[in-house]
Structure 1
Amino acid sequence: MKVGLLDTLGARHGRYWAAFLKELGLEVAVPALPAAEALALGRSSLPDEPVQVQLTLGRVLELGRVDAVLIPQTPAVASDAWGEALTDLLPRRISGLPQLIAIPDGGEAMPAAATELGQRFTRNPARVRLALERVKPLGAEKRAEMPRLSLGSRVTVAVIGPRSLLADPDLSGGLKAALDALGLHGVYSPELPASQVAERGERMDNAARAPSGEKELFGALKLLEGKSAVRGVLLASPARDGAHRAALNRLAAMTHKPALIIDVDAGQTEWPELETFRDRVTLGATARAAASDDPGEAS
Protein backbone atom coordinates (compact mmCIF):
# COMPACT_ATOMS: atom_id res chain seq x y z
CA MET A 1 0.00 0.00 0.00
CA LYS A 2 1.29 3.45 -0.96
CA VAL A 3 0.30 6.43 1.19
CA GLY A 4 1.03 10.07 0.43
CA LEU A 5 1.99 12.44 3.24
CA LEU A 6 1.72 16.21 2.73
CA ASP A 7 3.96 18.80 4.32
CA THR A 8 1.64 21.74 3.56
CA LEU A 9 -0.62 23.80 5.87
CA GLY A 10 2.18 24.45 8.35
CA ALA A 11 2.53 20.79 9.33
CA ARG A 12 4.64 20.27 12.47
CA HIS A 13 4.61 16.49 12.92
CA GLY A 14 5.47 15.10 9.51
CA ARG A 15 8.33 13.04 10.96
CA TYR A 16 5.93 11.31 13.35
CA TRP A 17 3.51 10.31 10.62
CA ALA A 18 6.21 9.29 8.16
CA ALA A 19 7.89 7.08 10.76
CA PHE A 20 4.56 5.57 11.82
CA LEU A 21 3.61 4.65 8.26
CA LYS A 22 7.01 3.07 7.66
CA GLU A 23 6.75 1.07 10.90
CA LEU A 24 3.48 -0.30 9.54
CA GLY A 25 5.34 -1.53 6.46
CA LEU A 26 3.67 0.95 4.10
CA GLU A 27 5.31 2.80 1.22
CA VAL A 28 5.37 6.53 1.90
CA ALA A 29 5.20 9.09 -0.91
CA VAL A 30 6.13 12.71 -0.19
CA PRO A 31 5.95 15.80 -2.42
CA ALA A 32 9.07 16.63 -4.39
CA LEU A 33 8.13 19.30 -6.93
CA PRO A 34 9.25 22.90 -6.39
CA ALA A 35 6.46 24.79 -4.65
CA ALA A 36 5.83 27.04 -7.66
CA GLU A 37 5.14 24.03 -9.88
CA ALA A 38 2.86 22.37 -7.33
CA LEU A 39 1.00 25.63 -6.85
CA ALA A 40 0.53 25.97 -10.61
CA LEU A 41 -1.06 22.51 -10.68
CA GLY A 42 -3.54 23.45 -7.96
CA ARG A 43 -4.24 26.92 -9.30
CA SER A 44 -5.10 25.61 -12.76
CA SER A 45 -7.90 23.51 -11.23
CA LEU A 46 -9.07 25.91 -8.51
CA PRO A 47 -8.09 29.40 -9.70
CA ASP A 48 -10.33 31.33 -7.30
CA GLU A 49 -9.71 29.45 -4.07
CA PRO A 50 -7.36 30.33 -1.16
CA VAL A 51 -3.66 29.96 -1.87
CA GLN A 52 -3.11 27.29 0.80
CA VAL A 53 -5.89 25.17 -0.76
CA GLN A 54 -4.32 25.55 -4.21
CA LEU A 55 -0.93 24.42 -2.90
CA THR A 56 -2.46 21.46 -1.05
CA LEU A 57 -4.31 20.34 -4.18
CA GLY A 58 -1.15 20.69 -6.24
CA ARG A 59 0.76 18.52 -3.78
CA VAL A 60 -1.97 15.86 -3.96
CA LEU A 61 -1.97 15.89 -7.75
CA GLU A 62 1.81 15.59 -8.00
CA LEU A 63 1.79 12.37 -5.96
CA GLY A 64 0.02 10.57 -8.77
CA ARG A 65 -1.17 7.03 -8.10
CA VAL A 66 -1.35 6.51 -4.34
CA ASP A 67 -3.95 4.67 -2.28
CA ALA A 68 -4.52 7.52 0.19
CA VAL A 69 -3.12 10.92 1.13
CA LEU A 70 -2.76 12.17 4.71
CA ILE A 71 -3.39 15.91 5.10
CA PRO A 72 -2.77 17.80 8.37
CA GLN A 73 -5.82 19.37 9.95
CA THR A 74 -5.92 23.12 10.51
CA PRO A 75 -8.05 25.09 13.00
CA ALA A 76 -10.96 26.76 11.24
CA VAL A 77 -12.35 30.26 11.66
CA ALA A 78 -16.00 31.26 11.27
CA SER A 79 -17.56 30.43 7.87
CA ASP A 80 -14.38 28.60 6.88
CA ALA A 81 -15.61 25.72 4.74
CA TRP A 82 -12.12 24.73 3.56
CA GLY A 83 -10.73 24.77 7.08
CA GLU A 84 -13.59 22.69 8.41
CA ALA A 85 -13.74 20.04 5.69
CA LEU A 86 -10.90 20.31 3.17
CA THR A 87 -10.57 16.54 2.74
CA ASP A 88 -14.30 16.28 2.00
CA LEU A 89 -14.54 19.29 -0.31
CA LEU A 90 -11.57 18.64 -2.58
CA PRO A 91 -12.92 15.33 -3.98
CA ARG A 92 -16.25 17.04 -4.65
CA ARG A 93 -14.54 19.73 -6.69
CA ILE A 94 -11.90 17.59 -8.40
CA SER A 95 -12.71 14.12 -9.70
CA GLY A 96 -10.27 11.22 -9.60
CA LEU A 97 -8.43 12.15 -6.41
CA PRO A 98 -7.20 9.39 -4.10
CA GLN A 99 -8.74 8.98 -0.69
CA LEU A 100 -7.93 12.06 1.41
CA ILE A 101 -7.62 11.62 5.17
CA ALA A 102 -7.36 14.48 7.67
CA ILE A 103 -4.89 13.84 10.50
CA PRO A 104 -4.28 15.78 13.74
CA ASP A 105 -1.07 17.79 13.71
CA GLY A 106 -0.09 17.19 17.32
CA GLY A 107 -1.95 17.13 20.60
CA GLU A 108 -3.68 14.37 22.49
CA ALA A 109 -5.78 13.35 19.49
CA MET A 110 -2.78 12.29 17.41
CA PRO A 111 -2.03 8.84 18.95
CA ALA A 112 -5.71 7.90 18.86
CA ALA A 113 -5.96 8.94 15.21
CA ALA A 114 -2.79 6.99 14.42
CA THR A 115 -4.26 3.89 16.09
CA GLU A 116 -7.44 4.11 14.04
CA LEU A 117 -5.50 4.74 10.85
CA GLY A 118 -3.13 1.84 11.49
CA GLN A 119 -6.03 -0.54 12.07
CA ARG A 120 -7.66 0.59 8.86
CA PHE A 121 -4.50 0.13 6.80
CA THR A 122 -3.12 -3.12 8.27
CA ARG A 123 -5.84 -4.93 10.25
CA ASN A 124 -2.97 -5.94 12.54
CA PRO A 125 -3.45 -4.61 16.11
CA ALA A 126 -0.12 -5.99 17.36
CA ARG A 127 1.83 -4.27 14.61
CA VAL A 128 -0.03 -1.02 15.22
CA ARG A 129 0.77 -1.11 18.94
CA LEU A 130 4.45 -1.72 18.23
CA ALA A 131 4.56 1.10 15.67
CA LEU A 132 2.94 3.50 18.11
CA GLU A 133 5.46 2.65 20.81
CA ARG A 134 8.41 3.15 18.49
CA VAL A 135 7.31 6.56 17.18
CA LYS A 136 6.02 7.89 20.50
CA PRO A 137 9.08 10.14 21.14
CA LEU A 138 8.51 11.90 17.81
CA GLY A 139 5.02 12.94 18.89
CA ALA A 140 6.10 14.68 22.08
CA GLU A 141 5.48 18.41 22.09
CA LYS A 142 8.72 20.33 22.36
CA ARG A 143 8.97 22.85 25.13
CA ALA A 144 8.37 26.17 23.42
CA GLU A 145 9.77 29.50 24.53
CA MET A 146 8.82 33.01 23.52
CA PRO A 147 10.65 34.10 20.39
CA ARG A 148 13.03 37.02 20.55
CA LEU A 149 11.02 40.24 20.85
CA SER A 150 13.83 42.69 20.09
CA LEU A 151 16.50 42.66 17.43
CA GLY A 152 19.10 45.41 17.41
CA SER A 153 17.69 48.77 16.40
CA ARG A 154 14.78 47.29 14.45
CA VAL A 155 11.20 48.07 15.38
CA THR A 156 9.23 44.96 16.38
CA VAL A 157 5.83 44.13 14.92
CA ALA A 158 3.53 41.21 15.69
CA VAL A 159 2.62 39.21 12.58
CA ILE A 160 -0.66 37.39 13.17
CA GLY A 161 -2.14 34.90 10.75
CA PRO A 162 -3.07 31.24 10.26
CA ARG A 163 -0.36 28.62 10.64
CA SER A 164 -1.26 27.30 7.18
CA LEU A 165 0.16 30.54 5.78
CA LEU A 166 2.82 31.87 8.16
CA ALA A 167 4.40 28.51 9.05
CA ASP A 168 4.76 27.53 5.39
CA PRO A 169 7.99 29.02 4.00
CA ASP A 170 6.77 28.51 0.44
CA LEU A 171 3.86 30.87 1.13
CA SER A 172 5.24 33.33 3.68
CA GLY A 173 8.85 33.68 2.52
CA GLY A 174 8.15 36.81 0.49
CA LEU A 175 6.50 38.57 3.43
CA LYS A 176 9.37 37.81 5.78
CA ALA A 177 11.87 39.13 3.27
CA ALA A 178 9.81 42.29 2.76
CA LEU A 179 9.69 43.02 6.49
CA ASP A 180 13.44 42.48 6.79
CA ALA A 181 14.05 44.85 3.89
CA LEU A 182 11.98 47.53 5.64
CA GLY A 183 13.98 47.17 8.83
CA LEU A 184 11.16 45.58 10.80
CA HIS A 185 11.55 42.65 13.17
CA GLY A 186 8.54 40.40 12.74
CA VAL A 187 7.41 38.09 15.55
CA TYR A 188 5.17 35.47 13.93
CA SER A 189 2.18 33.91 15.64
CA PRO A 190 3.06 30.26 14.79
CA GLU A 191 6.35 30.70 16.69
CA LEU A 192 4.60 31.46 19.98
CA PRO A 193 4.26 28.86 22.77
CA ALA A 194 1.02 27.03 21.98
CA SER A 195 0.04 26.67 25.65
CA GLN A 196 0.25 30.42 26.24
CA VAL A 197 -1.68 31.17 23.07
CA ALA A 198 -4.39 28.69 24.07
CA GLU A 199 -4.66 30.12 27.58
CA ARG A 200 -5.26 33.63 26.24
CA GLY A 201 -7.57 32.33 23.56
CA GLU A 202 -9.93 31.08 26.25
CA ARG A 203 -10.37 34.69 27.41
CA MET A 204 -12.09 35.55 24.15
CA ASP A 205 -15.75 36.57 24.37
CA ASN A 206 -17.97 33.53 23.88
CA ALA A 207 -14.86 31.34 23.84
CA ALA A 208 -16.88 28.19 24.44
CA ARG A 209 -18.64 28.68 21.08
CA ALA A 210 -15.80 30.32 19.14
CA PRO A 211 -14.10 28.29 16.38
CA SER A 212 -10.64 27.03 17.35
CA GLY A 213 -8.95 29.07 14.65
CA GLU A 214 -10.50 32.31 15.94
CA LYS A 215 -9.33 31.55 19.47
CA GLU A 216 -5.83 30.79 18.25
CA LEU A 217 -5.56 34.10 16.40
CA PHE A 218 -7.04 36.01 19.34
CA GLY A 219 -4.69 34.31 21.80
CA ALA A 220 -1.65 35.17 19.68
CA LEU A 221 -2.73 38.80 19.43
CA LYS A 222 -3.30 39.15 23.16
CA LEU A 223 0.00 37.45 23.97
CA LEU A 224 1.97 39.85 21.79
CA GLU A 225 0.18 43.19 21.89
CA GLY A 226 0.82 43.57 25.62
CA LYS A 227 4.59 43.39 25.09
CA SER A 228 6.20 46.84 25.21
CA ALA A 229 8.66 45.87 22.46
CA VAL A 230 5.81 45.25 20.00
CA ARG A 231 4.97 48.54 18.27
CA GLY A 232 2.39 47.42 15.76
CA VAL A 233 0.31 44.49 14.53
CA LEU A 234 0.41 43.10 11.00
CA LEU A 235 -2.48 40.76 10.22
CA ALA A 236 -1.73 38.42 7.31
CA SER A 237 -4.52 36.63 5.44
CA PRO A 238 -4.04 33.98 2.75
CA ALA A 239 -4.90 35.38 -0.67
CA ARG A 240 -8.51 34.76 -1.75
CA ASP A 241 -9.46 33.51 1.72
CA GLY A 242 -12.55 35.49 2.66
CA ALA A 243 -13.11 33.66 5.95
CA HIS A 244 -9.67 34.47 7.32
CA ARG A 245 -9.82 38.01 5.99
CA ALA A 246 -13.08 38.55 7.90
CA ALA A 247 -11.63 36.98 11.06
CA LEU A 248 -8.58 39.23 10.90
CA ASN A 249 -10.78 42.29 10.35
CA ARG A 250 -12.57 41.42 13.57
CA LEU A 251 -9.21 40.98 15.29
CA ALA A 252 -7.94 44.36 14.09
CA ALA A 253 -10.80 46.04 15.94
CA MET A 254 -9.58 44.49 19.20
CA THR A 255 -6.12 46.10 19.33
CA HIS A 256 -5.15 49.65 20.21
CA LYS A 257 -1.78 49.41 18.51
CA PRO A 258 -1.25 50.45 14.86
CA ALA A 259 -2.59 47.60 12.73
CA LEU A 260 -2.58 46.67 9.07
CA ILE A 261 -4.34 43.80 7.28
CA ILE A 262 -2.77 42.40 4.12
CA ASP A 263 -3.38 39.50 1.76
CA VAL A 264 -0.41 37.21 1.09
CA ASP A 265 -0.07 35.17 -2.10
CA ALA A 266 2.59 32.64 -3.01
CA GLY A 267 5.53 34.31 -4.70
CA GLN A 268 4.41 37.78 -3.68
CA THR A 269 7.28 40.01 -2.59
CA GLU A 270 5.85 43.53 -2.52
CA TRP A 271 3.18 45.24 -0.47
CA PRO A 272 3.25 49.04 -1.04
CA GLU A 273 1.17 49.63 2.08
CA LEU A 274 3.91 48.15 4.27
CA GLU A 275 6.06 51.27 3.88
CA THR A 276 3.33 53.48 5.33
CA PHE A 277 2.82 50.97 8.14
CA ARG A 278 6.57 50.93 8.81
CA ASP A 279 6.60 54.71 9.04
CA ARG A 280 3.68 54.71 11.48
CA VAL A 281 5.22 52.23 13.90
CA THR A 282 8.77 53.60 13.53
CA LEU A 283 7.79 57.23 14.11
CA GLY A 284 5.60 56.16 17.02
CA ALA A 285 8.47 54.25 18.59
CA THR A 286 10.82 57.20 18.08
CA ALA A 287 8.36 59.61 19.66
CA ARG A 288 7.87 57.36 22.70
CA ALA A 289 11.62 56.95 23.11
CA ALA A 290 12.11 60.71 22.97
CA ALA A 291 9.37 61.26 25.53
CA SER A 292 10.90 58.76 27.92
CA ASP A 293 14.28 60.52 27.63
CA ASP A 294 12.80 63.98 28.29
CA PRO A 295 13.11 64.86 32.00
CA GLY A 296 10.12 67.15 31.71
CA GLU A 297 7.96 64.33 30.41
CA ALA A 298 9.12 61.99 33.13
CA SER A 299 8.31 64.34 35.99
Structure 2
Amino acid sequence: MSDDELQPDRGWENRRLILASLAPRTATRPARRGAAPATPDVDDDTTPKKPGLLTRGIRASGRAAAGAGRRFNRRVPPENRMRVAVLTVAVIAILVVALGAVNYLSADVNAPATPTTAIAAPPPPPSQAPLRQDTILSGVTATDVCPRDPNYSDVNRAYDGDFNTAWICTRAQNQDGQTMQVDFGRQVTLTQIRAIGGFDATAPDGTDQWSKHRIVTKLEIWFPKDLRRDPVTIDTGGVRDWRFITLTPPATVSKLLVRVAETSDAPQPVTPATETAAPGADEVTSVAISEIQFIGIDGLTAPTP
Protein backbone atom coordinates (compact mmCIF):
# COMPACT_ATOMS: atom_id res chain seq x y z
CA MET A 1 0.00 0.00 0.00
CA SER A 2 1.42 3.38 -0.96
CA ASP A 3 1.78 6.43 1.33
CA ASP A 4 -1.02 8.24 -0.50
CA GLU A 5 -3.48 5.52 0.33
CA LEU A 6 -2.76 5.74 4.06
CA GLN A 7 -5.05 8.01 6.16
CA PRO A 8 -3.37 11.22 7.30
CA ASP A 9 -2.35 11.51 10.98
CA ARG A 10 -4.73 14.03 12.61
CA GLY A 11 -3.87 13.24 16.24
CA TRP A 12 -2.20 16.62 16.78
CA GLU A 13 -5.23 18.52 15.62
CA ASN A 14 -7.49 16.43 17.83
CA ARG A 15 -5.33 17.12 20.86
CA ARG A 16 -5.42 20.84 20.11
CA LEU A 17 -9.20 20.82 19.96
CA ILE A 18 -9.44 18.90 23.23
CA LEU A 19 -7.10 21.33 24.97
CA ALA A 20 -8.99 24.29 23.56
CA SER A 21 -12.27 22.91 24.89
CA LEU A 22 -10.76 22.55 28.36
CA ALA A 23 -9.54 26.15 28.47
CA PRO A 24 -11.80 28.57 30.54
CA ARG A 25 -14.22 30.65 28.50
CA THR A 26 -14.11 34.39 28.65
CA ALA A 27 -17.09 36.57 29.44
CA THR A 28 -17.36 37.66 25.82
CA ARG A 29 -17.31 34.11 24.50
CA PRO A 30 -20.67 32.36 24.40
CA ALA A 31 -20.94 29.00 26.10
CA ARG A 32 -22.67 27.57 23.12
CA ARG A 33 -22.54 28.37 19.53
CA GLY A 34 -26.30 28.69 19.38
CA ALA A 35 -26.51 31.17 22.37
CA ALA A 36 -27.75 34.62 21.55
CA PRO A 37 -25.11 37.34 21.66
CA ALA A 38 -25.20 39.80 24.55
CA THR A 39 -27.61 42.64 24.00
CA PRO A 40 -25.78 45.94 23.90
CA ASP A 41 -26.82 48.48 26.59
CA VAL A 42 -28.41 50.99 24.30
CA ASP A 43 -31.23 53.32 25.38
CA ASP A 44 -33.46 53.07 22.32
CA ASP A 45 -37.14 54.07 22.26
CA THR A 46 -37.77 51.32 19.70
CA THR A 47 -36.99 48.62 22.28
CA PRO A 48 -40.21 46.76 23.15
CA LYS A 49 -41.32 47.34 26.79
CA LYS A 50 -42.91 44.85 29.19
CA PRO A 51 -46.70 45.04 29.43
CA GLY A 52 -48.15 46.85 32.45
CA LEU A 53 -49.73 45.30 35.52
CA LEU A 54 -53.28 45.95 34.26
CA THR A 55 -52.53 44.36 30.90
CA ARG A 56 -50.97 41.31 32.53
CA GLY A 57 -53.98 41.03 34.87
CA ILE A 58 -56.44 41.15 31.97
CA ARG A 59 -54.45 38.51 30.08
CA ALA A 60 -54.27 36.29 33.16
CA SER A 61 -58.03 36.65 33.68
CA GLY A 62 -58.64 35.72 30.05
CA ARG A 63 -56.42 32.67 30.35
CA ALA A 64 -58.17 31.62 33.57
CA ALA A 65 -61.58 32.03 31.95
CA ALA A 66 -60.47 30.04 28.92
CA GLY A 67 -59.08 27.29 31.18
CA ALA A 68 -62.33 27.19 33.17
CA GLY A 69 -64.31 26.95 29.93
CA ARG A 70 -62.17 24.06 28.75
CA ARG A 71 -62.60 22.22 32.06
CA PHE A 72 -66.33 22.91 31.93
CA ASN A 73 -66.51 21.47 28.40
CA ARG A 74 -64.55 18.39 29.45
CA ARG A 75 -66.71 17.69 32.47
CA VAL A 76 -70.19 18.56 31.17
CA PRO A 77 -71.64 16.78 28.15
CA PRO A 78 -72.78 19.07 25.29
CA GLU A 79 -76.46 18.26 25.81
CA ASN A 80 -76.33 19.39 29.50
CA ARG A 81 -74.25 22.54 29.17
CA MET A 82 -77.15 24.97 28.76
CA ARG A 83 -79.05 23.61 31.74
CA VAL A 84 -75.98 23.71 34.01
CA ALA A 85 -75.23 27.29 32.96
CA VAL A 86 -78.81 28.38 33.74
CA LEU A 87 -78.71 26.67 37.15
CA THR A 88 -75.37 28.26 37.95
CA VAL A 89 -76.65 31.77 37.15
CA ALA A 90 -79.81 31.14 39.21
CA VAL A 91 -77.79 30.00 42.25
CA ILE A 92 -75.56 33.09 42.04
CA ALA A 93 -78.61 35.37 41.81
CA ILE A 94 -80.21 33.68 44.86
CA LEU A 95 -76.99 34.11 46.85
CA VAL A 96 -76.77 37.81 45.97
CA VAL A 97 -80.41 38.41 46.97
CA ALA A 98 -79.97 36.50 50.25
CA LEU A 99 -76.82 38.46 51.10
CA GLY A 100 -78.61 41.77 50.45
CA ALA A 101 -81.53 40.70 52.67
CA VAL A 102 -79.20 39.76 55.52
CA ASN A 103 -77.41 43.11 55.29
CA TYR A 104 -80.74 44.98 55.31
CA LEU A 105 -82.07 43.11 58.34
CA SER A 106 -78.85 43.52 60.29
CA ALA A 107 -78.80 47.25 59.54
CA ASP A 108 -82.43 47.54 60.71
CA VAL A 109 -81.86 45.63 63.95
CA ASN A 110 -78.52 47.19 64.82
CA ALA A 111 -79.35 50.74 63.84
CA PRO A 112 -76.71 53.20 65.02
CA ALA A 113 -77.71 54.90 68.21
CA THR A 114 -78.44 58.56 67.82
CA PRO A 115 -76.08 60.52 70.06
CA THR A 116 -77.95 62.46 72.69
CA THR A 117 -76.63 65.36 74.68
CA ALA A 118 -77.20 65.11 78.38
CA ILE A 119 -78.99 68.22 79.53
CA ALA A 120 -79.22 68.80 83.23
CA ALA A 121 -82.70 69.62 84.45
CA PRO A 122 -82.96 73.15 85.78
CA PRO A 123 -83.13 73.28 89.57
CA PRO A 124 -86.58 74.00 91.00
CA PRO A 125 -87.14 77.46 92.37
CA PRO A 126 -86.48 77.78 96.10
CA SER A 127 -90.11 77.78 97.13
CA GLN A 128 -90.73 76.06 100.45
CA ALA A 129 -87.63 75.39 102.50
CA PRO A 130 -86.81 71.69 103.02
CA LEU A 131 -87.27 70.99 106.72
CA ARG A 132 -85.80 67.46 106.93
CA GLN A 133 -85.32 66.71 110.69
CA ASP A 134 -85.41 70.37 111.68
CA THR A 135 -88.45 71.97 113.26
CA ILE A 136 -90.26 75.28 112.99
CA LEU A 137 -89.45 77.14 116.17
CA SER A 138 -92.41 78.44 118.14
CA GLY A 139 -92.75 80.88 121.03
CA VAL A 140 -91.23 83.73 119.02
CA THR A 141 -92.14 87.30 119.96
CA ALA A 142 -91.20 90.56 118.27
CA THR A 143 -91.42 94.33 118.55
CA ASP A 144 -91.29 96.95 115.81
CA VAL A 145 -90.99 100.67 115.23
CA CYS A 146 -94.05 101.61 113.19
CA PRO A 147 -96.68 104.36 113.36
CA ARG A 148 -99.72 103.20 115.26
CA ASP A 149 -102.15 104.42 112.59
CA PRO A 150 -105.30 102.70 111.30
CA ASN A 151 -103.22 100.73 108.80
CA TYR A 152 -101.02 99.19 111.46
CA SER A 153 -101.25 95.48 112.28
CA ASP A 154 -99.30 93.92 115.17
CA VAL A 155 -95.84 92.58 114.32
CA ASN A 156 -96.46 89.27 116.13
CA ARG A 157 -98.96 88.38 113.44
CA ALA A 158 -95.96 87.63 111.20
CA TYR A 159 -94.93 84.84 113.64
CA ASP A 160 -98.28 83.26 114.58
CA GLY A 161 -98.41 80.66 111.76
CA ASP A 162 -101.76 82.04 110.52
CA PHE A 163 -101.76 83.08 106.86
CA ASN A 164 -104.99 85.05 107.30
CA THR A 165 -103.08 87.59 109.39
CA ALA A 166 -100.05 89.72 108.55
CA TRP A 167 -97.78 92.39 109.93
CA ILE A 168 -98.63 95.74 108.28
CA CYS A 169 -96.48 98.80 108.80
CA THR A 170 -96.90 102.30 107.34
CA ARG A 171 -93.72 103.46 105.57
CA ALA A 172 -92.51 106.72 107.04
CA GLN A 173 -91.93 109.21 104.22
CA ASN A 174 -92.47 106.32 101.81
CA GLN A 175 -89.03 104.93 102.65
CA ASP A 176 -87.94 101.34 103.32
CA GLY A 177 -85.95 100.30 106.38
CA GLN A 178 -88.62 99.09 108.83
CA THR A 179 -87.18 96.85 111.58
CA MET A 180 -88.41 94.07 113.86
CA GLN A 181 -86.63 92.96 117.02
CA VAL A 182 -87.14 89.16 117.34
CA ASP A 183 -86.82 87.44 120.72
CA PHE A 184 -86.80 83.63 121.02
CA GLY A 185 -86.85 83.65 124.84
CA ARG A 186 -84.05 81.00 124.96
CA GLN A 187 -80.96 79.86 123.10
CA VAL A 188 -81.81 78.32 119.70
CA THR A 189 -79.70 77.03 116.82
CA LEU A 190 -80.97 78.23 113.44
CA THR A 191 -80.32 76.51 110.12
CA GLN A 192 -82.86 78.28 107.89
CA ILE A 193 -85.04 81.38 107.86
CA ARG A 194 -87.93 81.77 105.44
CA ALA A 195 -90.58 84.38 104.74
CA ILE A 196 -93.47 85.38 102.49
CA GLY A 197 -92.91 89.00 101.47
CA GLY A 198 -96.50 90.17 101.27
CA PHE A 199 -100.01 89.71 102.61
CA ASP A 200 -100.83 86.33 101.09
CA ALA A 201 -104.53 86.11 101.95
CA THR A 202 -108.04 86.89 100.75
CA ALA A 203 -110.45 89.05 102.76
CA PRO A 204 -113.92 87.68 103.64
CA ASP A 205 -115.40 89.86 100.92
CA GLY A 206 -113.11 88.23 98.33
CA THR A 207 -110.60 91.07 98.09
CA ASP A 208 -107.05 89.92 97.41
CA GLN A 209 -104.83 91.34 100.15
CA TRP A 210 -101.63 90.82 98.12
CA SER A 211 -102.27 93.91 95.97
CA LYS A 212 -103.12 96.28 98.88
CA HIS A 213 -99.59 96.69 100.29
CA ARG A 214 -96.05 96.92 98.97
CA ILE A 215 -94.16 93.67 98.47
CA VAL A 216 -90.91 92.94 100.31
CA THR A 217 -88.24 92.00 97.76
CA LYS A 218 -85.23 91.94 100.13
CA LEU A 219 -85.34 91.08 103.82
CA GLU A 220 -82.14 91.39 105.88
CA ILE A 221 -81.32 89.30 108.98
CA TRP A 222 -78.83 90.85 111.45
CA PHE A 223 -77.11 88.75 114.14
CA PRO A 224 -75.84 89.87 117.56
CA LYS A 225 -72.47 91.59 117.50
CA ASP A 226 -70.81 88.93 119.66
CA LEU A 227 -71.29 86.35 116.86
CA ARG A 228 -69.28 88.48 114.44
CA ARG A 229 -71.38 87.30 111.54
CA ASP A 230 -72.32 89.33 108.50
CA PRO A 231 -76.03 89.87 107.88
CA VAL A 232 -77.79 87.63 105.38
CA THR A 233 -80.46 88.61 102.85
CA ILE A 234 -83.59 86.76 101.75
CA ASP A 235 -84.20 87.79 98.14
CA THR A 236 -87.87 87.12 97.48
CA GLY A 237 -88.00 88.59 93.98
CA GLY A 238 -91.56 89.67 94.75
CA VAL A 239 -92.79 86.08 94.34
CA ARG A 240 -95.96 85.07 96.15
CA ASP A 241 -94.41 82.04 97.82
CA TRP A 242 -91.89 81.00 100.46
CA ARG A 243 -88.33 82.27 99.98
CA PHE A 244 -85.56 81.21 102.35
CA ILE A 245 -81.90 81.50 103.29
CA THR A 246 -79.79 78.63 104.67
CA LEU A 247 -77.38 79.50 107.47
CA THR A 248 -73.97 77.89 107.03
CA PRO A 249 -72.76 77.25 109.66
CA PRO A 250 -75.89 77.27 111.84
CA ALA A 251 -76.25 80.24 114.17
CA THR A 252 -76.94 79.92 117.90
CA VAL A 253 -78.82 83.03 119.06
CA SER A 254 -81.49 84.26 121.42
CA LYS A 255 -82.37 87.47 119.55
CA LEU A 256 -82.28 88.73 115.97
CA LEU A 257 -83.01 91.90 114.06
CA VAL A 258 -85.12 91.69 110.88
CA ARG A 259 -84.99 94.68 108.52
CA VAL A 260 -87.03 95.45 105.40
CA ALA A 261 -84.25 96.42 102.97
CA GLU A 262 -86.23 96.80 99.73
CA THR A 263 -89.85 96.76 98.55
CA SER A 264 -91.70 97.02 95.25
CA ASP A 265 -95.11 98.22 94.13
CA ALA A 266 -97.90 95.75 94.62
CA PRO A 267 -99.33 94.26 91.41
CA GLN A 268 -102.61 95.87 90.42
CA PRO A 269 -105.49 94.32 88.48
CA VAL A 270 -105.26 95.09 84.78
CA THR A 271 -108.12 97.46 83.91
CA PRO A 272 -108.45 100.18 81.26
CA ALA A 273 -108.47 102.86 83.98
CA THR A 274 -105.39 101.51 85.80
CA GLU A 275 -102.40 103.84 85.75
CA THR A 276 -99.07 103.14 87.40
CA ALA A 277 -97.29 106.08 88.97
CA ALA A 278 -94.76 106.60 91.70
CA PRO A 279 -96.28 107.45 95.10
CA GLY A 280 -96.28 111.15 95.94
CA ALA A 281 -94.68 112.68 99.00
CA ASP A 282 -98.02 112.92 100.83
CA GLU A 283 -99.32 109.52 99.74
CA VAL A 284 -99.41 106.90 102.50
CA THR A 285 -97.95 103.51 101.61
CA SER A 286 -97.59 100.41 103.74
CA VAL A 287 -95.67 97.15 103.67
CA ALA A 288 -96.90 93.73 104.77
CA ILE A 289 -95.42 90.31 105.61
CA SER A 290 -97.65 87.27 106.09
CA GLU A 291 -95.20 84.93 107.80
CA ILE A 292 -91.58 84.64 108.93
CA GLN A 293 -90.46 81.24 110.16
CA PHE A 294 -87.25 80.11 111.85
CA ILE A 295 -86.05 76.55 111.24
CA GLY A 296 -83.81 74.90 113.84
CA ILE A 297 -83.79 73.39 117.33
CA ASP A 298 -83.66 74.57 120.89
CA GLY A 299 -80.26 74.66 122.53
CA LEU A 300 -76.65 74.91 121.39
CA THR A 301 -76.34 71.61 119.52
CA ALA A 302 -76.45 71.93 115.75
CA PRO A 303 -79.20 69.78 114.17
CA THR A 304 -78.15 66.71 112.25
CA PRO A 305 -79.07 66.68 108.51
Q: Shorter-normalised TM-score: what interval?
A: under 0.3
TM superposition score normalised by structure 1: 0.22
Which structure has more helix as a fraction of its residues?
Answer: 1
Structure with higher Rg: it is 2
TM superposition score normalised by structure 2: 0.22
Which structure has more strand as a fraction of its residues?
Answer: 2
